[in-house]
Structure 1
Amino acid sequence: MSQDIRQAQVIVIGGGLVGMAVAYGLARGGADTLVLDQGDDAFRASRGNFGLVWVQGKGHDLPDYSRWTRSSATRWPTLAQALLADSGVDVQLRQPGGFHMCFSDEELLERQSRLRTLQAALGDYPFEMLDAADLKARLPLIGPAVVGASYSPQDGHVNPLKLLRALHASAQAKGAVLRSGVHVERIDCAPGEFRVVTAQGSFTAPRIVLAAGLGNPGLARQVGLHAPVAPNRGQVLISERVRPFLDYPTINVRQTDEGTVQLGDSMEEVGFDDGTSIDVLAAIARRGVSTFPLLRDVRLVRAWGALRVLSPDGFPIYQQSCAHPGAFVVTCHSGVTLAAAHALRLAPWIMGGASPAELQAFSGERFLNHKVYAHAH
């Protein structure tokens, strides 16, 4: 092997949750896999997320997204067991079901309508609508401001930092090579080969996966793909460790395996600003206290902002290039929920297997035909 060229069967650009889930699936399947990761100067969606493995409510206007999400949630126990075996890291998967809290009768009715739409489209789609009394029987510490909730047994959560560590360790245990601090300058395409040119040298492979998050638009253009993703900021608050009080994840509040409480779920269009703002954090804190009043006296220890990777309609983009076969783009904003699908369903497709049926809905070409602005979140 020459000093500046490294050859592999497949190169994955991006070492976050999306890229590493794909890389782990590829390496686990026996592919000679090279991961090129920008490093800590990249916008790290993977280090700022909420850790939910969430199904309910997703894809009410695109059933294929709901099917794809659910296919991943049902495969998550397989992924968690494989990661534990390959890395020794327990990602703390728990899937007891989850609650989406509603603070008005109107919210509750809208929630019921959304989930009934999904149930009508998909058939087997379990959920319950709970009024305040039903909810208090399940979650005794719930506050009086919550008028009810939806509950789905399909939902759960993990420790997202342990997940990222487990994916890195497991992929490398299966033979994947990780290069960090690599800035991709360009991709040169030739029949049957892609050359990734970087300041650290060139790397070649017959297959390439673009999983670079907010770096994907520019990379995709070089291989004949369309990936118009943009940043959307979310802010998160973390409390001190408190005694266990919440055995279920909820859409805005969850207690981690380490005892801290995580509060979040803001959505802000602020460009590439991944900072925090007092007004948004205050709103997140107020909603958390309204949901569980005991949090009023709990100290907050950390806050951060992170940038989601959102397409114009909020749904993923999965596509192989027609102009340059062997080049794939993989981008989404639900890197935790979809990790199992990425490792166990996308990786075989990338190596030449059949395309999962749901993927037809997620071509980047959909944005060339008409403008779509409704977010899937």
Structure 2
Amino acid sequence: MAHPDVVVVGAGVIGAACAEALTARGIGVLVLDRGAPAAGTTAAGEGNVLVSDKEPGPELVLAQASRRRWPTLLAELRDELGPTVAEVEWEPKGGLVVATTSASAQPLTDFATAQRDAGVDARRITANEAIELEPRLTKEIAAAVHYPEDAQLQPVLATTTLLAAVRKRGGEVRGHTEALGVDRSTNGTIKALRTKHNSIPCGAVVNACGPWSGAFSRAAGAAIDIQPRRGVVLVTVPLPPNTVRHKVYDADYVGAVASGDADLQTSTVVESTQAGTVLVGSSRQRVGFDDSLRVEVLRELARKAVRLFPFLADVQIMRSYGGFRPYAPDHLPVIGEDHRLPGLWHATGHEGAGIGLAAATGQLLAELFTGQAPHVDPVPFRVDRQP
């Protein structure tokens, strides 16, 4: 596509969702990525589509909208692309949050109460009911909350499905093309995206570069504060079906998600995949783009997972992987046009929630771009919001 209406920089799930929503409205889109599509942050994700880990506020509203949108969007894509191309391993399995100490029990129940007031289906259950949901769970349960709305999908499959729709509608996806900045017209608006190969004329650019969004925004001349935050996941050998039935995590996970500390934080998250493997997370650490795997992080993840599911002590870890998440200091994504540079749009800063928030993020950006009424309030996500 020589002269696209919009160039989306970043072919992860957020960029793909924005491109899909734009092309659904008849806009010509070129998607670029510095590497292979879906090979960065998206490939290092667990595929969580969660409402359970978000306190009442703008991010929860976006998460609720995205949870509603994902099944509808996937059904639309199956109709358009066929069931084989649009298979993303969608599992509305629900989540289970467990407090394993008396100290964490009351904060969990208070958190769930606040979420219920915000419209989340958060069900306080007994320890016995938690064991019925997860028979192999620890018996040390001080409190438990069941979240039926939590779901999971395979992030790479979801992204490639979104990009397949973009291509079918006449858009283009181009990997291994690094964006270096933008060219401006005489009135200060964007007229082209500069790459290492050439300049691509366009009317707008979407910064969906994930943890590299800060660097691209600086190169474009409209800096935003997005930093990489590293996370690591362990993967077990395949286990029998229904060994772990839900997304299960310890109550301290919510605090780790909301924290801005640079130091290492770990919290127990355990869930299965359709392939039979069990994913064990999670860690958060701001170490720049240092991608070395650290034994102490892996050891801590394993230790905490065994406390939640004792049977894991006898299960072999097959591999581990890590990735960088786009961290915004106020823990809210940036979605919308940059007032300092007309034609530059941002869709970034989702940190570890990008998979879950992608459907609503793409929809919101496309609504704002085309002048449609937004389905959620866009003000909290503006680039010029006040801290």
TM-score, normalized by length of structure 1?
0.89
What does 1:59-98 correspond to in 2, within 5 Å? 59-60=55-56, 63-87=57-81, 88-98=85-95
**CA apart distance, 1:30:** 1.6
What does 1:222-261 correspond to in 2, within 5 Å? 225-244=222-241, 245-251=243-249, 252-261=269-278
Equivalent residues, number: 360
**CA apart distance, 1:218:** 3.3
Measure, in 1, the Cα distance between the counterparts of 2:282 and 2:181. Answer: 35
Partner of 1:46: 42
Q: Equivalent residue of 1:7, what SS?
A: coil
Measure, in 2, the Cα distance between the counterparts of 1:222 and 1:239. Answer: 41
**CA apart distance, 1:32:** 0.7
**CA apart distance, 1:52:** 0.8
Partner of 2:301: 284
Measure, in 2, the Cα distance between the counterparts of 1:285 and 1:21. Answer: 33
Counterpart among 135, 140, 147 of residue 142 in structure 2 = 147
**CA apart distance, 1:86:** 4.0
Partner of 2:125: 130
Partner of 2:179: 184
Question: Percent same amino acid among aligned pairs?
Answer: 27
Partner of 2:256: none
- Structure 2: which amino acid aligns with 1:361? P
Counterpart among 103, 114, 119 of residue 117 in structure 1 = 114
- Structure 2: which amino acid aligns with 1:319? G
Unaligned runs of 5+ in 1: 371-377
**CA apart distance, 1:178:** 1.1
Matched, 1:336 2:355: yes
Unaligned runs of 5+ in 2: 250-268
Measure, in 2, the Cα distance between the counterparts of 1:42 and 1:51. Answer: 12
**CA apart distance, 1:296:** 2.2
Partner of 2:378: 359
Matched, 1:162 2:157: yes
Measure, in 2, the Cα distance between the counterparts of 1:336 and 1:210. Answer: 17
CA displacement 1:267-307 (0-9 Å, x = unmatched): 11212112221111112112222222222222111101111
Matched, 1:320 2:320: no
Partner of 1:374: none
- Structure 2: which amino acid aligns with 1:91? V
Partner of 1:299: 316
Partner of 2:263: none
8 Å Cα contact 1:184/1:199 also seen in 2 = yes
Matched, 1:263 2:246: no
8 Å Cα contact 2:364/2:378 also seen in 1 = no
8 Å Cα contact 2:11/2:38 also seen in 1 = no
Counterpart among 19, 24, 28 of residue 28 in structure 1 = 24
Q: Equivalent residue of 2:193, what SS?
A: strand
**CA apart distance, 1:257:** 1.0
What does 1:168-207 correspond to in 2, within 5 Å? 168-190=163-185, 191=187, 193-207=190-204
8 Å Cα contact 2:38/2:160 also seen in 1 = no
Partner of 2:3: 7
Measure, in 2, the Cα distance between the counterparts of 1:167 and 1:306. Answer: 21
Partner of 2:208: 211
Measure, in 2, the Cα distance between the counterparts of 1:43 and 1:189. Answer: 30
Distance 1:135 1:311, change over 3 A: same
Measure, in 2, the Cα distance between the counterparts of 1:154 and 1:314. Answer: 22
**CA apart distance, 1:145:** 3.4
Measure, in 1, the Cα distance between the counterparts of 2:191 and 2:219. Answer: 11
Measure, in 1, the Cα distance between the counterparts of 2:159 and 2:102. Answer: 39
Measure, in 2, the Cα distance between the counterparts of 1:159 and 1:13. Answer: 22
8 Å Cα contact 2:233/2:279 also seen in 1 = yes
Measure, in 2, the Cα distance between the counterparts of 1:189 and 1:28. Answer: 27
8 Å Cα contact 2:336/2:368 also seen in 1 = no
**CA apart distance, 1:236:** 0.3
Measure, in 2, the Cα distance between the counterparts of 1:274 and 1:66. Answer: 30
**CA apart distance, 1:41:** 11
- Structure 2: which amino acid aligns with 1:341? A
Q: Equivalent residue of 1:55, what SS?
A: coil
- Structure 2: which amino acid aligns with 1:64? P
8 Å Cα contact 2:32/2:175 also seen in 1 = yes
CA RMSD, 1 decimal:
2.2
8 Å Cα contact 2:335/2:361 also seen in 1 = no
**CA apart distance, 1:13:** 0.7
**CA apart distance, 1:147:** 3.2
Measure, in 1, the Cα distance between the counterparts of 2:291 and 2:110. Answer: 34
8 Å Cα contact 2:74/2:86 also seen in 1 = no
- Structure 2: which amino acid aligns with 1:165? T
Partner of 1:373: none
Distance 1:43 1:164, change over 3 A: closer
